[in-house]
Amino acid sequence: MKKETYSCVDCGTQNCKFKTRTYPDFCPTKNLEEENLQWALEKYEEGRNKEIMIASAEVEFEGYCQWTRVQEIMEFAKKIDAKRIGIANCIGLINEARTFAKILQSNGFEAHAVICKVAGKSKSSIGIPAQCEEIGSAMCNPILQARLLNNAKTDLNVVIGLCVGHDSLFYKYSNAYVTTLVTKDRVTGNNPAAPLYTANSYYKKKFNV
């Protein structure tokens, strides 16, 4: 079947990052409507968005290929004056969350963690199919996690291993800016990029690449 639309994954130039720029005809930059660009640029002037962008760029520059993500998060937090750090973690990564909290505390931050199973409600109590309780009866509660961290008035929230989709709800309802330390992948030991590296070899048949 002929592909009808093209996007950045179809581009072989990556010229958008260079000073001298030529683009394929389908390029979003080449076909960009000025109003969309201006809308985005204006948003950087709202609230703390510019401060966040500058701090992010500085962390990338200062720690490039030197700092771990744990350190990057702490350096970023310092730059935006975030002292109270919220942790929204999966119950399966409680040990990782504890270690991260200790690291934060030893570096002068407050750590406030809320685990995914907070409140202990059954999955079926909100209409999740009963069969889902076969791998655990208690539902994850990312909206409550966000609410409790909002109540704690955290300055920055860090996700550690929330499930696909649960993380989406947490991001939506968190008042504080959110960054992710660990993305859970039970099959790859929390290295979700691994299947991408093997998509043309070991995982080729599985992904129909």
DSSP conformation letters of 121-171: -BGGGGT--GGGGGG-SBPP-HHHHHHHHHHTT-SEEEEESPPTTHHHHHH
192 contacts 122 by C-beta, under 8 angstroms: no
Is the pLDDT at 19 greater than 80, yes or no?
Answer: no
Q: Say whether 122 sits in a helix, a strand or coil.
A: strand
The Cα–Cα gap between 38 and 176 comes to 25
Find how far residue 45's CA is from the centre of its chain. 23
Can you count the helices (H) and strands (E) in the chain? Answer: 8, 4
pLDDT computed for residue 203 by the predictor: 82
Please say whether the structural domain 68-209 has been given the CATH code 3.40.50.11030: no
The Cα–Cα gap between 127 and 60 comes to 43
Residue 166: closest CA among 92, 56, 84: 92
Half-sphere exposure of 25 (CA within 13 A, CB side): 1
Nearest 5°: the CA angle 188, 104, 81 is: 115
Residue 140: closest CA among 94, 90, 183: 90
Is the pLDDT at 205 greater than 90, yes or no?
Answer: no
Q: How would residue 13 be classed by pLDDT, with cut points 50, 70 and 90?
A: confident
> Could you read off the pLDDT of 140-180 as tens digits, one per residue?
999 999 999 999 999 999 999 999 999 999 999 999 999 99
Residue 73: closest CA among 204, 191, 194, 177: 177
Read off the pTM: 0.93
The average confidence (pLDDT) of the chain is: 94
